[in-house]
Amino acid sequence: MAKKKLEQVNLIDTFQDFKETKNIDRTTLVSVLEDSFRSVLQKTFGSDENFDVLVNPDKGDFEIYRNRLVVADDEVTNPNAEISLSEAQKIDDDYEIGEDVSEKVNFAEFGRRAILNLRQTMASKILELEHDNLYNKYVDKIGTIVSAEVYQVWRREMLLLDDEGNELLLPKTDQIPSDFYRKGEAARAIVLRVDNLNNNPKIILSRTSPDFLQRLLEAEVPEINDGLITIRKIARIPGERAKIAVESYNERIDPVGACVGVKGSRIHGIVRELRNENIDVINYTSNIKLFIQRALSPARVSSIVLNEEERKAEVYLQPDQVSLAIGKNGHNIKLASMLTEYTIDVFRELDNDEEDTEDIYLDEFKDEIEEWVIDAIKSLGLETAKSVIDAPRDMLIEKADLEEDTVDEVLRILKAEFED
């Protein structure tokens, strides 16, 4: 008897251990415990419908009662649901045929296999519940910043642990190129998505998403949370450069100044978090020409010709402004296109004494220049002959990854097209 009592106490201790280690509230634990008992009862007796399972969450113990119908001694067909009159009267002399007998069941009497099944069933249900809780917790956090400890760094991804020991993944593709973390360091990232394959949640983080930059701004600039400033659009080349279009509905508030802060105080912390990513903040406007002009800053635009149907813009600049519009590695024009959602082509504006000749798209030179060379140059945001001619020679060699002789030959072909 003492051994059976000890087994029951050990079961209760096991349940308490689950509650403490899995961080599951008592009400949920009671429900899981009852379901686990019923699952084992069903396997043992074929049905759990005539059993009452009572769980006391305050004391941490449980009781099981089996309800059976009293029948004549020779009419018992289902021992689980029926009890003979003679057996019933051993419990209480007053029982008669047709009455219900409620008899307390000692679960330990079911044997070690039943107890093992109970523990396995409960462990399975607890694990399933834990996965559900983890999934629901992080689905609600999608788009928010979390801080976690770096646990393991691999070639393709990084494993982090949150405060509760849950595993979070930061893929290499969602890390800023210059990110470098050691085990035990804290890392901040945005919850990008939560995959749930076979009820096994996989939390994916990102530091390259535009939303990460937006959340950092919201944390640093109270006017954004107050609704006084709105972030209309963000374009990023992670770790290199970003452009942000902001708007204020309050004429007394300068949205750009509020985001940058006094002497850059608000933006500096974000720049450090993003590994010295240069951040340009501009005023948003619904005037597309003006928006493109601002997006191409620091270049000074002379004029813009829009094709709204194809969402293309031809931007004309003075020769000394072309390289500024394109930017280092073509980043400025690429970000401006991302921000405005217009394909932007830059053209050198001719002086009054120059011949008013039209520019020519690079694709027109496929007979003289190999297609892969044209594609390499176009990857820098240079779409036309004059934009290539105006671009720094060194940039074409270094950023388009072309040989010097190849670049010189391209420039010779393009320049010859505009010579008399």
Neighbours of 412 (CB within 10 A): 10
**Which one-letter DSSP state was computed for residue 52?**
E
User: In this structure, is residue 389 part of a structural domain?
Assistant: no
184 shares its domain with 122: no
Give the H/E segment covering residue 394.
helix 393-399
Number of independent structural domains in the chain = 3
Please choose, from the candidates 128, 102, 103, the residue with its C-alpha nearest in 3D space to the C-alpha of residue 39.
128
- Three-class DSSP category at 175: coil
Structure-token pair, residue 316: 């004309």
User: In this structure, is residue 345 part of a structural domain?
Assistant: no
237 shares its domain with 218: yes
155 shares its domain with 190: yes
Domain boundary, last residue among 119, 136, 153: 136
Structure-token pair, residue 88: 């019933």
123 shares its domain with 146: no
Residue pair 106/2 in contact by the 8 Å Cβ criterion: no
Domain CATH number, residue 20:
3.30.1480
Structure-token pair, residue 419: 């010579």
Residue pair 408/400 in contact by the 8 Å Cβ criterion: no
User: In this structure, is residue 407 part of a structural domain?
Assistant: no
C-alpha separations of 330 from 199, 281, 298, 334, 340 in Å: 44, 18, 14, 6, 16
Residue pair 206/157 in contact by the 8 Å Cβ criterion: no
74 shares its domain with 147: no
User: In this structure, is residue 60 part of a structural domain?
Assistant: yes
Domain boundary, last residue among 284, 317, 337: 284
Structure-token pair, residue 251: 């004429």
- Domain membership of residue 173 as a residue range: 141-206
Residue pair 15/121 in contact by the 8 Å Cβ criterion: no
Please choose, from the candidates 99, 114, 90, 111, the residue with its C-alpha nearest in 3D space to the C-alpha of residue 37.
114
User: In this structure, is residue 31 part of a structural domain?
Assistant: yes
User: In this structure, is residue 371 part of a structural domain?
Assistant: no
For residues 392-404, one letter each, b for 16 or more C-beta atoms within 10 angstroms of the residue's C-beta and e for the rest, the string is: eeebbeebbebee
Instruction: Tell me the C-alpha distance between 359 and 207, whole Å.
Output: 40
User: In this structure, is residue 103 part of a structural domain?
Assistant: yes
79 shares its domain with 127: yes
C-alpha separations of 83 from 51, 73, 79, 94 in Å: 14, 8, 6, 14
241 shares its domain with 181: no
Relative to beta strand 100-105, strand 61-71 is antiparallel
Domain CATH number, residue 149:
2.40.50.140
User: For tokens 């031809």, what's the residue?
Assistant: 314
Residue pair 266/256 in contact by the 8 Å Cβ criterion: no
106 shares its domain with 85: yes
147 shares its domain with 132: no
Percent of the chain that is helix, strand, coil (3-state, to 5): 45, 25, 30
According to DSSP, the residues that pair with 67 across neighbouring strands are 102
Domain CATH number, residue 223:
3.30.300.20
248 shares its domain with 153: no
The interaxial angle of helices 371-378 and 404-418, nearest 10 deg, is 90
Residue pair 218/187 in contact by the 8 Å Cβ criterion: no
Relative to beta strand 145-153, strand 200-206 is unpaired
Instruction: pLDDT tens for the chain, 420 residues: list them.
Output: 444 444 454 555 555 555 555 566 667 777 777 887 888 888 877 788 888 888 776 666 778 888 888 888 888 888 878 888 888 888 888 888 888 888 888 776 677 777 777 778 777 877 888 888 889 999 999 999 999 999 999 999 999 999 989 999 999 999 999 999 999 999 999 999 999 888 889 999 999 999 999 999 999 999 998 899 999 999 999 999 999 999 998 888 999 999 998 888 999 999 999 999 999 999 999 999 999 999 999 999 989 999 999 999 999 988 888 888 988 888 999 999 999 999 999 888 765 544 445 678 888 888 888 889 888 888 887 888 888 888 888 878 877 888 888 989 999 888 888 775
- The verdict on pTM exceeding 0.95 is no
222 shares its domain with 102: no
Residue-level pLDDT at 341: 94
User: In this structure, is residue 70 part of a structural domain?
Assistant: yes
Prior bond to 255 cis, omega within 30?
A: no
Helices (DSSP H) in 296-361: which residue ranges? 319-326, 331-340
117 shares its domain with 6: yes
Domain boundary, last residue among 256, 284, 312: 284
